[in-house]
Amino acid sequence: MSILEPEHDEEVKEMLADVEKRAGFARVSMHIDPWAAEEDHQDSWFCSKLTLEGLLPLLLFTRSETILMDFQGGPTLHRRGSPPVRTSVEPLGKLAGDDQRISRARHFTRIIFWALSHVRMTWDNLDFSYLFLPIDDVDTEWDVRRSWLATFSASFDQSRIPHLMGNAETIGKQFDYPSDLTLIQKHIGSSRPLKFVRWRYEPLSLEEEKELREDTYRSIDNVGITYPLLVVEHYPPRTNFLLPIPSHSPDQSIPEPSKLVTLLPYLSGVTLVSQIETEYAFLLPSVIRSLSMTLTAHSMRKNLFTSSPIFDIPISLLRIAVTAPAAGEKLNYQRMETLGDTVLKYITGVQLLAEYPLWHEGYLTKRKDHTVSNVRLAKEDIAKGLYRWIIRGQVSFALFLPSIDFRN
C-alpha cells in the first residue's frame, strides 16, 4: 500500500494500530444556564405570555430570549383526577430592567415560590432567574390578608415562623373562617402542606375524638378540642407533572380518594396563598423544567449549528437528542442514539469507499472502527463543547432557587 499510495502511508500506520480505549472520566466545565443573560442583554428582560390552560395567563420575564410554542408544541401537564393542562409561550418583546412590572413580578414570584419551597429560599433574596406576573389583577383579598399577617407578626416574636404563614385559629377568627384556604400545616412551619377541605363545626364522635387524640396528636398530652376544626387531606405525592399518569388496566382498581384528616386550628398553620397561586406553585416547576430543556436545545442550535443543515432540525427532536436517560424524562436520546449510530457508520463507510478506492475491506473496516470509536467521538464532543448542552439533571423543586451564573 505504501508503493501504491505513498501519500496515505501515515494513515495506514494509524489505521493498523489498535483502536484507542476510552477513559472512564473527563474533566469538563458545567452545564450551561439556559436562563443566563447574553452579553448584549445584561440590563434588559424578555417578556412572554405564558398560558396554562384553565388558569389565568401570566407574563413571563426572562434574561434569555424565549421561542414561540403553541399548545401543540408547549409542555402538557398531567394531574391525577383532572384533564391534561396544555401550555403555550408567546414572546412579546424586550423591556428595560427598570420597568415597574419587573419589581411587581419579583414580589409575586416570591409568593409563588415561597408557598412550597421556603426551606430552600431566603425571603429578602429576589434575584430569580425568571419572573411571573398575572396579566389580569388577581383577588386583592389575599393581599389584605398578607398585609394583616405581616403587621400582626411584627408585634410578636415570630422569627421562627416562615413568612406568609400564621396560626390557623387566629386567621380563622380574624377573617371569619374563610372557605378559600389552600395550604395547611399540621404544626405551623414544621410539616408538609396539606390540602384544605373545609371547617368543621359539628362535634366529633367518640371514635373520631379517640383517633384525634391517639393518632393525629398522640405526642401531646391532654390535648384540648375546640371548634371549628380543620378538615384536610394529603396532596398526591407527585411533583413532575410532565410525566403522563400511568393508565390502569381493566382489572386494576382505581386508587381510593385521599383520607380526610381532622386538625386542631390552634396547633395548625395556614400559608396565605390563594387557590390559583397554589395551582401555580405546584405546576410552574414542571413548566420551567420543560422550558429549560427547550431553551437548552435552542441555545445549542444557535451556538453550534448556525451554518449547518442541522440548524433546521425541529426543536422538539433536538431536545430529545440532548436529553440523557439520567434526566428521568419520558423521552431521551437512547432510541435516537441507535439510529444515529447506524447513520454515522453508514456515512463513514461511504466516505471511506470514496476516499480510499484501493483499500480492501479489512483496511476499510479498521479505519471505520477508528473513526466511529467512542474515544474519537468523546474527543470531538469535548473539543466542540457539546457536553455543555446535554441534559442530565432530574426535575426538582430546587428549580425554585434564585439564579446561579454558570458561566464562571
CA-wise closest residue to 230 among 275, 192, 185, 191: 185
More confident: 369 or 40 = 369
What's the average model confidence in pLDDT over 202-210?
Answer: 93
AA identity, residue 164: L
Residue 191 has pLDDT above 50, yes or no: yes
What's the average model confidence in pLDDT over 306-327?
Answer: 90
Q: Give per-residue pLDDT as tens, 38-55.
A: 777 677 899 999 999 999
Residue 307 has pLDDT above 90, yes or no: no
AA identity, residue 43: D
**Where exactly are the structural domains of the chain?**
6-30+292-400, 39-137, 141-242+257-273
pLDDT value for 123: 92
Regarding the domain delimited by 6-30+292-400, which CATH topology (the fold level of the hierarchy) does it fall under?
Ribonuclease iii, N-terminal Endonuclease Domain; Chain A (1.10.1520)
CA distances from 299 to 34, 262, 277, 303 (A): 7, 50, 31, 6
pLDDT value for 358: 86
**Whole-angstrom Cα distance, residue 387 to residue 371?**
19
CA-wise closest residue to 120 among 326, 272, 273, 285: 285
The DSSP call for residue 165 is E
- Residue 96 has phi, psi (to 5 degrees) of -70, 155
Q: Which range, 104-113, 377-386, 395-404, has the best average confidence (pLDDT)?
A: 104-113
Residue 250 has pLDDT above 50, yes or no: no
Report helix, strand or coil for 228: coil
Residue 407 has pLDDT above 60, yes or no: no
CB–CB of 256/125 below 8 Å?
Answer: no
Among 145-159, 269-283, 388-402, which is the least confidently predicted range?
388-402
What's the average model confidence in pLDDT over 398-408?
Answer: 35
pLDDT value for 251: 43
Among 102-116, 209-223, 338-352, which is the least confidently predicted range?
209-223
CA distances from 398 to 25, 80, 118, 217 (A): 27, 23, 11, 31
pLDDT value for 306: 86
**Whole-angstrom Cα distance, residue 253 to residue 6?**
74
What's the average model confidence in pLDDT over 122-141?
Answer: 87
Average pLDDT along the chain: 85
Residue 403 has pLDDT above 70, yes or no: no
What's the average model confidence in pLDDT over 201-216?
Answer: 91
pLDDT value for 321: 93
Give residues with Cβ within 8 angstroms of 178, minimum separation 6.
172
Give residues with Cβ within 8 angstroms of 298, minimum separation 6.
34, 67, 315
Give residues with Cβ within 8 angstroms of 38, minimum separation 6.
63, 64
Q: Give per-residue pLDDT as tens, 10-29.
A: 776 666 676 666 665 666 66
Residue 255 has pLDDT above 80, yes or no: no
Residue 125 has pLDDT above 70, yes or no: yes
Q: Give per-residue pLDDT as tens, 57-114.
A: 999 999 999 999 999 989 999 988 889 999 999 999 999 878 889 999 999 999 999 9
pLDDT value for 15: 67
Residue 405 has pLDDT above 80, yes or no: no
Among 7-16, 161-170, 279-288, which is the least confidently predicted range?
7-16
